[in-house]
Amino acid sequence: MAQFLEQFASGLANGAIYACVALALVMIYVSTDHLNFAQGEMAMFSTYISWQLMNWGLSFWVAFAGAVVISFVMGVLIERVILRPLHHAPILSVVVVFIGLLAIFNSMAGAIWSYLIKEYPSPFPKSSFGIAGVIGPHQLGVVLVTLVVLGLLFGFFRFTPLGLAMRAAAQNPQMARLVGVRVDWMLALGWGLAAAVGAVAGIMVAHIVYLDPNMMGGILLYAFASALIGGIGNPAGAVVGGFIVGVLENMVAYTGNQIEKLTGVYIIGNGEKLTVALIIVIFVLTLKPAGLFGRVVVRRV
Amino acid sequence: MAASSRKWLLALVAAAFVVPLLQPLLPDAVSDYRLFLVSTMMIAAIAVLGLNLLTGFNGQISLGHSAFYAVGAYTAAILMDKLDCPYWLTLPAAAIVSFIVGYLFGLPALRLEGHYLALATFALALSVPQILKYKWLEDLTGGVQGIVLSKPEPPFGLPLSEDQWLFYYCLIVMLILYWAAANMLNSRSGRAMMAIRDYHIAADTMGIDTSLYKTVTFGISAAYTGIAGALSASAIAFVAPDSFSFFLSIKFLIGLVVGGVGSLVGSIVGGIFYVLVDNSAQALSTYVKSDLGLQFDLSAYTVFGILLILLMYLMPTGIVGGVTGVIRRLRRS
Amino acid sequence: MMRTKRRAFVAGLSATAVLTGNRVAFGQKKYDEGASDTEIKIGHTCPYSGPASAYGVIGKTIQAYWKSVNEAGGINGRKINFISLDDGYNPAKTVECIRQLVEQDKVLCTFNTLGTPTNTAIHKYMNQKKVPQLYVATGASKWGDPKHFPWTMGFQPDYHTEAVIYAKYILANIKDAKIGVLMQNDDYGKDYWEGMKEGLGKEVGRVVKHVTYEVTDPTVDSQIIQLKDSGANVFFNIATPKFAAQAMRKAGAIGWKPAQFLNNVSVSVASVMKPAGFDNVQGVITAAYLMDPTDKQWEGHPEMKMWKDWMTQHNPGASLSDASNVFAYAVSFLMQETLKRCGNDLTRANLMHQAASHHHLRVPLLLPGITVSTSATDYFPVQAVQLQRFKSETWELFGDVMHAESS
């Protein structure tokens, strides 16, 4: 039972990581209708920027704010400079450009900051809160930050004119243009916001998995699954999806363990936990093809 | 147009058959290594062709073709290693096994579209290396150690080197598969496949069994890529789970887009590109570093990324689309 | 059996001895492909891109090493033409790269090609072509098999033997040991695991839990919880730096306090022990053969000083805290010595012969008391390790240097 609780809590903590990165993915999907493969590497790059700022003597929160602002600008620039000329290119071509960006960010980070793993500080007080042994203060902090970001995004898209304009621009560019939305800039803004959310995610994750140029490789895979199971256009869904994937994965390993303990036969374990978790995710998706919280879009013929 | 391009094609094929025989005359230009490199290009081309059948002609996105490649490679490797099966018999076996896996996978995929299908296939790509390492399959797959094989030897005592023979072997397989794909696309079934891609609902109402076509296309596509995997197992003479990471799927996708989505010739171009781009990115980065004396550490991976983006700028519809566009413009002026 | 050459050259430790080398007697000039009066071509592959790109620093430092050798006049008057290619840790790509190096670039030999699956893919080819595959950068035990693969030689102590040493230590020193193992689910992890099982022998039942992780896993938290739950009081940590640090930190966080054994791959103070938290790693035991540049105990050591000078002068921008740079320097030094001893007989056969004729050669940056010895039947250059225990902020060597003979 103790193990069950620990596994559950550890799953939630991992889930918070996935949720954070999934939010950035959803962000860009909501505002540009693309799935950005380079999102993880961009978040990693932003985290390095914050690390660099701290290395120059700034405090954690100043560096945090600095990195978020710089990432926002970086996101806008990427859209204006690199993706702008490709607005009319086929979607798969855009995907290839994302892969190109992934390669560039990854190798540049390695060239500038080396591939050695770096410690990354946690802004949260050491074990003054948190349930000792089950979930640490940083993990709780990540959950909190994720929920705050989610709240901010929700409010932004729901209640501000800018947020509404961005959604309109992504869903129906022509109509949006007709009512006076500057669609081009909305796309750039979407990229900026996604990069900023990514920076927050990276900074939260780095303390847990350590900072290195490949830190997002594995996480992005999980974040994709999380974003999709929750319904790709739905920020709250992505967060729930993250927790589901995190917990599910640990439960698979746990169940495998219990089975082995009871029967002495190895059926599933850590090697298969991702596979089994994904199979379950896909099974769910075949039952609810638009994700758990996605809305089914009725297509006009 | 059609007649002249067919003539060119035939000339090209004839040249491909003659070139390896020039080795005694031009030992440096037609070295074993170059023949081997071209063989790997042809193998990649077959894999990309498989992906193109699914994505380019049927409109289903897949990030999971590394899985089918792995299934083909392992089918071949296990047959050769455990059952002493001759290498040429492994191709049909790999095709059948991959077809079945692809077909079965196509069933749940029917319910998924776009990004969700991408996720499902992506999950497949991630799972297969794990399954290869699965404890109860280790005896068969060699687990993390993989399986070491031998290269195919020329049959009937033909006076060819291993690499010359490998070249012919790959070339013949590729031509057959290309011919089959071209015929299929040109038939009633091919037109149905493309109708599903373009007007899914219309195709449905016209009485095309869209589910059947989509799953069978998945199977055929997987079979093509599986054959490529089996060929690669023979060519590299080694299989290990590390060779079939998710990044392999990405590379097939790059080959597909760069060559030309929905173009058979594009698949071949994409296969060539797939092999060339790595080598040229490396060459370029060394050139920039040593000859231009750039102090910054510009790695081949960065160059690779830049090349991809530039290429998409210049030819957003791929090389074949870009080149035919240029030719058309030249003709008009 | 070949006899060890008596003309053994006493390796000087000063920088001049490292970088110049005109003292070997010159015989008649004999060359194979890749060697001439003016240059020696050496091939190399390593992952500069992809998930394993952290190992790329090894390749870069080796390149810097040969550049510095060339600037100092080369080896016996010949420049080293070092061609290094990126294989992305993909065995299929390695085959392509190696064939280019051997057949197109016509190298004399390959050197320090990195990775177990990648080297496995070219193992047979190199031996069929009779091209030396020297000092490969992997600790699998299969590289020392001169009977079947006379053209391939390893460098570092193999993982298998290292694990046997831990197992013997556990049996001798820990009462009622219940062992929990965390293992990376690949070739490298497997080699350690097999070694552990062999070392335990009849006592193999002492392993109460064996869990694995994949390199794509974001964390190993779940695995550590499973190990704690199994009631293990010994923890054998077969993980690469990032995961090793995560594992030890998590163990500390959930209050699991076993006796810990850490594989040699992850001994760096800066990139493992410090990120794991010094509080969490007190008393961890590992076996070492190289000096760690971030370990304070070596700060004043002449070889370490020489290495640091070399790094600032010839490899600026590279990290002084990365143990990979120490590894790269040491293995390159051994290669340079081997080539030096070939004199003017730069045939592949002689190169292999010289590589198999080292006699207590001191290679800088190996732990004090460890030397390189090889013979026609012994293809394991570095075979000795010494146990060390982590105390406050540094490793502390204890016990004797152990010369483990691998089977």
Cβ separation B243–C99 shorter than 8 A: no
Cβ separation B306–A92 shorter than 8 A: no
Residue A134: the pLDDT is 65
Q: Which residue of C has its CA nearest to A15?
A: C218
- CATH number of the domain at A145, please: 1.10.3470
Which of A5-9, A203-207, C51-55 is the most confident on average?
A: A203-207
Mean pLDDT over each residue of chain A, to the nearest integer:
84
Cβ separation A3–C225 shorter than 8 A: yes
- The pLDDT of residue C44 is above 90: yes
- The pLDDT of residue C94 is above 60: yes
Mean pLDDT, rounded, for A285-293: 74
Q: Which residue of A has its CA nearest to C251?
A: A133
- Assign C40 a pLDDT band (cuts: 50, 70, 90): very high
Residues of A in contact with B105 (CB under 8 A): none
Residue A133: the pLDDT is 56
Better pLDDT: A244 or B22: A244
Given a contact cutoff of 8 angstroms between Cβ atoms, the answer to whether C218 and A222 are in contact is yes
Cβ separation B313–A85 shorter than 8 A: yes
Residue C8: the pLDDT is 33
Query: What total number of domains does chain A contain?
Result: 1
A69 vs B: CB within 8 A: no
- Assign C258 a pLDDT band (cuts: 50, 70, 90): very high
Residues of C in contact with B36 (CB under 8 A): 96, 99
Cβ separation C86–B278 shorter than 8 A: yes
Residues of C in contact with A204 (CB under 8 A): none
Given a contact cutoff of 8 angstroms between Cβ atoms, the answer to whether A97 and B308 are in contact is yes
Chain B contact probe: residue of A36, A92, A234 with most B CBs at under 10 A: A92
B4 membership: H or E segment, kind and range? helix B2-18
Residue C19: the pLDDT is 40
Residues of B in contact with C317 (CB under 8 A): 297
Does any domain span residue A116? yes
Predicted confidence (pLDDT) per residue in A122-145, tens digit: 888 776 454 555 677 888 888 888
Phi, psi for A119 (deg, rounded to 5): -70, 145
Residues of A in contact with B136 (CB under 8 A): 266
Residue A300: the pLDDT is 54
Cβ separation B145–C214 shorter than 8 A: no
- The pLDDT of residue C9 is above 60: no
- The pLDDT of residue C41 is above 70: yes
Chain A contact probe: residue of C190, C219, C227, C248 with most A CBs at under 10 A: C219
Chains that touch B (3 or more CB pairs under 8 A): A, C
Mean pLDDT, rounded, for B101-114: 84
- Could you tell me the residue range of the domain that residue A34 belongs to? 2-124+134-287
Percentage of chain A lying above the pLDDT 90 cut: 20
Residues of C in contact with B300 (CB under 8 A): 48-49, 86
- The pLDDT of residue A293 is above 80: no
Percentage of chain C lying above the pLDDT 70 cut: 92
Coil vs helix vs strand at C15 = helix
Residue C270: the pLDDT is 83
Residue A299: the pLDDT is 54
Cβ separation A289–B55 shorter than 8 A: no
Cβ separation C254–A133 shorter than 8 A: yes
Of B328, B285, B327, give the one whose Cα is nearest residue B307: B285
Look up residue C152 and give its DSSP letter: B
Residue C27: the pLDDT is 61
Distance CA C2, CA A95 (A): 59
Chain A contact probe: residue of B51, B119, B267 with most A CBs at under 10 A: B119
Cβ separation B306–A279 shorter than 8 A: no
β-pair partners for B238? B148
Coil vs helix vs strand at C286 = strand
Residue A297: the pLDDT is 58
Residue A131: the pLDDT is 57
Does any domain span residue B205? yes
Option in C49, C121, C187 nearest B236 (CB): C121
Cβ separation A275–B127 shorter than 8 A: yes
Given a contact cutoff of 8 angstroms between Cβ atoms, the answer to whether A72 and A42 are in contact is no
Does any domain span residue A295? no
- The pLDDT of residue C14 is above 60: no
Residue B4: the pLDDT is 67
Option in B40, B144, B148 nearest C96 (CB): B40
Predicted confidence (pLDDT) per residue in A165-212, tens digit: 888 887 788 888 888 888 888 888 889 999 999 999 999 889 888 998
- The pLDDT of residue C11 is above 60: no
Chains that touch A (3 or more CB pairs under 8 A): B, C
Cβ separation C226–A11 shorter than 8 A: no
B–C interface: beta-carbon pairs under 8 A: 85
Query: What total number of domains does chain B contain?
Result: 1
Coil vs helix vs strand at C181 = strand
A59 vs B: CB within 8 A: no
Does any domain span residue B103? yes
Residue B114: the pLDDT is 75
The B residues from 257 to 296 touching A (CB cutoff 8 Å) are: 257-258, 261, 296
Option in C216, C226, C241 nearest A117 (CB): C241
Mean pLDDT, rounded, for C384-391: 91
Mean pLDDT over each residue of chain B, to the nearest integer:
85
Nearest chain B Cα distance for residue C100, angstroms: 6
Nearest chain C Cα distance for residue B156, angstroms: 23
- Could you tell me the residue range of the domain that residue B218 belongs to? 31-248
Residue B297: the pLDDT is 67
A–C interface: beta-carbon pairs under 8 A: 107
Residue C404: the pLDDT is 62
Which residue reads 């994302």 in tokens? Answer: A98
Of C163, C169, C170, give the one whose Cα is nearest residue C196: C163
Predicted confidence (pLDDT) per residue in C56-86, tens digit: 889 989 999 999 999 999 898 899 999 999 8
Nearest chain B Cα distance for residue C117, angstroms: 7
- The pLDDT of residue B1 is above 70: no
Residues of C in contact with B237 (CB under 8 A): 95, 121, 124-125
Predicted confidence (pLDDT) per residue in B166-195, tens digit: 999 999 999 999 999 989 888 888 888 888
Cβ separation B302–A289 shorter than 8 A: no
Mean pLDDT, rounded, for B149-155: 80
Cβ separation B123–A278 shorter than 8 A: yes
A266 vs C: CB within 8 A: no
Residue B223: the pLDDT is 96
Instruction: Give the burial class of C361: count Cβ atoms within 10 A of its Cβ; 0-12 exposed, 13-18 middle, 19 or more buried.
Output: buried
Does any domain span residue B5? no
Does any domain span residue B122? yes
- The pLDDT of residue B208 is above 70: yes
β-pair partners for C378? C375
Residue C400: the pLDDT is 84
Cβ separation A271–B201 shorter than 8 A: no
Nearest chain C Cα distance for residue B302, angstroms: 9
Cβ separation C124–B232 shorter than 8 A: no
DSSP calls for A106-172: HHHHHHHH-SS-B-----SPSSSSSBTTTB-HHHHHHHHHHHHHHHHHHHHHHH-HHHHHHHHHHH-
Better pLDDT: B119 or B265: B265
- Tell me which residues of chain B have a C-beta less than 8 Å from any C-beta of chain C: 31-34, 36-37, 40, 126, 130, 133, 143-146, 148, 232, 236-238, 240-243, 245, 247-248, 275, 278, 282, 297, 299-301, 304
| Assembly ipTM | 0.86
Distance CA C253, CA A271 (A): 24
Distance CA C157, CA C141 (A): 9
Cβ separation A228–B250 shorter than 8 A: no
Nearest chain B Cα distance for residue A289, angstroms: 6
Given a contact cutoff of 8 angstroms between Cβ atoms, the answer to whether A236 and A250 are in contact is no
- Tell me which residues of chain C have a C-beta less than 8 Å from any C-beta of chain B: 48-51, 53, 56, 85-86, 88-93, 95-96, 99-100, 102-104, 117, 120-121, 123-125, 185-187, 189-190, 214, 216, 317
Better pLDDT: A291 or C334: C334
Does any domain span residue B233? yes
Q: Which residue of C has its CA nearest to B151?
A: C125
Predicted confidence (pLDDT) per residue in A54-68, tens digit: 999 999 999 999 999
Instruction: Give the burial class of A288: count Cβ atoms within 10 A of its Cβ; 0-12 exposed, 13-18 middle, 19 or more buried.
Output: middle
Mean pLDDT, rounded, for A108-125: 86
- Assign C17 a pLDDT band (cuts: 50, 70, 90): very low
Nearest chain A Cα distance for residue B250, angstroms: 8
Residue B273: the pLDDT is 87
**Helices assigned H by DSSP within chain A:** 2-32, 39-55, 60-77, 91-113, 137-159, 161-171, 173-178, 183-209, 215-230, 235-263, 273-287
Residues of A in contact with B134 (CB under 8 A): 271-272
Mean pLDDT over each residue of chain C, to the nearest integer:
86
Given a contact cutoff of 8 angstroms between Cβ atoms, the answer to whether C370 and C397 are in contact is no
Domains of chain C: 15-157+303-383 (3.40.50.2300), 159-288 (3.40.50.2300)
